[in-house]
Amino acid sequence: MYKTKTHILFFLTLISFSIGLVACKSKKPQGKKTNQSPNTNSANITEARFGYAYITACSERIKGNLQEALKLFEECKTLEPNNPAASYELATLYKLLGQNDKALINARFCAESDPKNEWYQLLLIDCYNSNKQYNQSVRVRESLVKNFPEKNDFKEDLAIEYAILGQYDRSYKIYDELEKNYGVSEQLTLNKVKLLKSQKKPKEAEQELKKLSDSNKNESRYYAFLAEFYLDQNELEKAKSMYDAILKVEPNNPMVNLALHDYYSAKGDEAQAFDYLKTALQNPDLDVRSKAEITGSFYNRAEAHSEKDLKQGLELSKIMLAVHPNSTESNAIYADFLRLDHKPKEAVLYYYLAATNEKRDFRVWENLLVVDEELNQYDSLEHHSAAAMELFPNQPANYLFNGVANIQLKNYSKATQSLNDGIEFVIDNKSSMLDFLRLLGDANFYLKDYPASDKAFDNALKIDSDNSYVLNNYAYYLSLRNENLDKAEKFSKRTNELKPNDRSYMDTYGWILYQQKKYKEAEDWLSKAAIRGPQNPTILEHYGDVLYRLNKNSEALMQWEAAKMSGGNSEGLLKKIKTKKLND
């Protein structure tokens, strides 16, 4: 306030002076002329020039034109070298521009010119600190305290400076004097305790905290300070007595129950500790985020295969859900535990409830989409991913899930639309780009847009030339089209080298050999695929086809009938069984 008033008055004086000077010059002389010395005129002109430059500099500084303001303030300094206001402004500007040495020179000048101007002194302190001259900074603060004894802020700042420099006794003395003058206060006590701990004086720190708690017997927070102190000192019984004192003042304080959980945990009584934790979570006064953080710690341990933490975490998350049934956090974390407990069908409901009111946290929606896919609930996945696309339009995962759902639902045009939209948001993520490309390869194949399908697969292989999914699907689609069979064989062979025991990859390779009319080799691969794992109608039908080509007609018919029994019902398969022959 002092600085502002001083400068406003200074500006007004200069403006008045300048206006008066101009007005005087415009008047005609009347009567006898008054003699004026050249030095007086020169001083008046200098003062007017100073005033104009100063006001213009301030205007430029306000506009953000710091270099222009600096130039004008330097002009002011040249015009009136001993003016502290100009030095103050220069110091401020040089500090803003990072020229700390020049800032210090000007700050020292204005501070020494007017020792009673607190703003000049504070700027000098700031400049000393910027130049890491902390001892000089402290000396200026000492002068401030001396010159402004009524300002407690200056005393507290000095105490902090003393503490930073390790002069704990001096710092403590200031706090002690303030306490004598104004009485016991929470902040002063905590500052004193911090100093005493730094000096390893636990008894004195305890006395200060006791003095604070005695100052107001109904303030539970003061007992909590003592309890925390006793825990740090490993004086568990004393800490317990403080918790009991808090409960007398605030019997429903959930923080005390959390503290008692820590107390009994420290004593090794895990059952009692967990009971207090449950009591704390049952209290509606404890906020949901704190409960989620506590319960989340159990989830992290349960995720690391801790059965005990999984069981206790489920119990806590149920309590949390009962107290806050409409909370996103409580529904989401309960769903997390259900999923970890291998109950995805139950988890998906609570993920949905969590997502319903959540418009900010994408992770909640992502969990819902992941479980939808795990459960093969593609109708739900399509609906939920479409909603997520609206809420979080820059998240590529939403478009990917929507593409997956629509491919499974045979909505191939919608799938390609979502995938092409979503791929635009993939930046510097090869794994995600690969997922989009492989799905685009699938969707475009089913749309019979073979060039787009091939292009997507080719681009995917540029990212990962040994991706077994892409190699297999690309090869299989080429074989179904009966195109580029050499390329298809190469890709399928590589797939089986990468994953030699995957029956679907063996089936693809056998089918490509079949298309190349290498029936004997095809039989070897398809027979292995047919007997590996449960019956698969596609593999059995392919095996029957190659047996027929090898004139093993009765065996072929057996495989076709087995394909039908295992779920195959295509028109081609049924016709083969009816005519007992392969229909080209």
SS3 track for 486-544: HHHHHHHHHHHHHCCCCHHHHHHHHHHHHHCCCHHHHHHHHHHHHHCCCCCHHHHHHHH
**Mean per-residue pLDDT, 323-332:** 96
b/e per residue, 336-367, with b = 16+ CB within 10 A?
bbbbbeeebeebbebbbbbbeebeeebebbbb
pLDDT bracket for residue 35 (50, 70, 90): low
Residue 101: what residue type? Answer: D
Helices (H), 83-167: 84-96, 100-113, 118-130, 134-147, 152-164
33 confidence band (pLDDT: 50, 70, 90): very low
Tokens of 192: 């004193």
Helix axes 537-549, 553-565, angle to 10 degrees: 170
Tokens linked to 269: 């009584």
What is the model's pLDDT at position 231?
87
**Across 170-184, 385-399, 429-443, 507-521, least confident range:** 170-184
In terms of residues, how long is the chain?
584
CA distances from 78 to 54, 73, 87, 242 (A): 12, 9, 11, 67
Cβ distance 86 to 105 under 8 Å? no
Count how many domains the chain has.
Answer: 1
Of the candidates 314, 399, 332, the one whose C-alpha atom is nearest the C-alpha of residue 368 is 332
Q: State residue 44's pLDDT score.
A: 82
**Local confidence band at 492 (pLDDT 50, 70, 90 cut-offs):** very high
In tens, the pLDDT along 536-545 reads: 999 999 999 9
| Contact (Cβ atoms closer than 8 angstroms) between residue 141 and residue 158 | yes
Examine residue 390 and state whether it is found in any structural domain, yes or no: no
Q: Tokens 């995957």 appear where?
A: 502
Residue 19 pLDDT greater than 80, yes or no: no
Residue 103 domain-assigned (yes or no): yes
Q: Which residue has the higher pLDDT, 20 or 303?
A: 303
Is residue 6 assigned to a domain? yes
Q: How many CB atoms lie within 10 A of CB 450?
A: 14
Mean pLDDT value of segment 22-46: 50
pLDDT band with cut points at 50, 70 and 90 for residue 359: confident
Q: Please report how many Cα atoms fall inside a 13 Å half-sphere around the Cα of residue 469, on the Cβ side.
A: 11
Tokens of residue 34, six digits: 């008054």
Q: How confident is the model at residue 10 (pLDDT cuts 50, 70, 90)?
A: very low
Query: 482 lies in a domain?
Result: no
Give the span between the Cα atoms of 440 and 459, in whole angstroms.
11
Domain extent at residue 83: 1-20+43-149
How many angstroms separate the CA atoms of 142 and 370, rounded? 64
Q: What is the pLDDT of residue 37?
A: 53
The CATH number of residue 69's host domain is: 1.25.40.10
Separation between Cα atoms, residue 528 and residue 283, nearest integer Å: 62
In a domain, 583, yes or no: no
**Tens of pLDDT along 384-399?**
999 999 999 999 999 9
Is residue 2 domain-resident?
A: yes
Q: Say if residues 103 and 87 touch (Cβ distance below 8 Å).
A: no
Classify residue 551 by burial, with Cβ atoms within 10 Å: 0-12, 13-18, 19+. exposed
Place of tokens 């394909």: 563
Residue 3: per-residue pLDDT: 39
Residue 409 lies in a domain: no
pLDDT at 6 over 90: no
Long-range contacts at 187-192 (CB < 8 A, ≥ 24 apart): 190/225, 191/159
Which residue from 3, 2, 46, 1 is spatially nearest to 21, judged by alpha carbons? 46
CB–CB of 514/542 below 8 Å?
Answer: yes
Other beta carbons less than 10 A from residue 158's beta carbon: 20
Contacts of 432 (CB under 8 A, 6+ apart): 396, 397, 400, 426
- Token digits of residue 129: 């600190």
Q: Is the pLDDT of residue 57 over 70?
A: yes
The secondary structure of 161-210 as a DSSP string is HHHHTT-HHHHHHHHHHHHHHH---HHHHHHHHHHHHHTT-HHHHHHHHH
Percent of residues, the chain, with pLDDT higher than 90: 82
Greater confidence (152 vs 35) lies with 152
Q: Residue 465: exposed, middle, or buried by beta-carbon count in 10 A (0-12, 13-18, 19+)?
A: exposed
Q: Is 61 a domain residue? A: yes
Q: What is the C-alpha separation between 523 and 542, in angstroms, rounded?
A: 9
Contact status, residue 301 vs residue 336, Cβ threshold 8 Å: no
Share of the chain above pLDDT 70, in %: 93
Mean pLDDT of 498-521: 95
Reported as a single tens digit per residue, the pLDDT across 343-352 is 999 999 999 9
**What's the rounded mean pLDDT across residues 280-298?**
95
Amino acid at residue number 554:
S
* Per-residue pLDDT, 575: 95
Q: What is the pLDDT of residue 533?
A: 81
What is the value of pTM for the model shown? Answer: 0.67
- Check pLDDT > 70 for residue 523: yes
Average pLDDT of span 549-554: 96
Q: What is the reported pLDDT for 209? A: 95
Q: Is the pLDDT of residue 579 over 60?
A: yes
Q: What is the mean pLDDT of residues 109-117?
A: 93
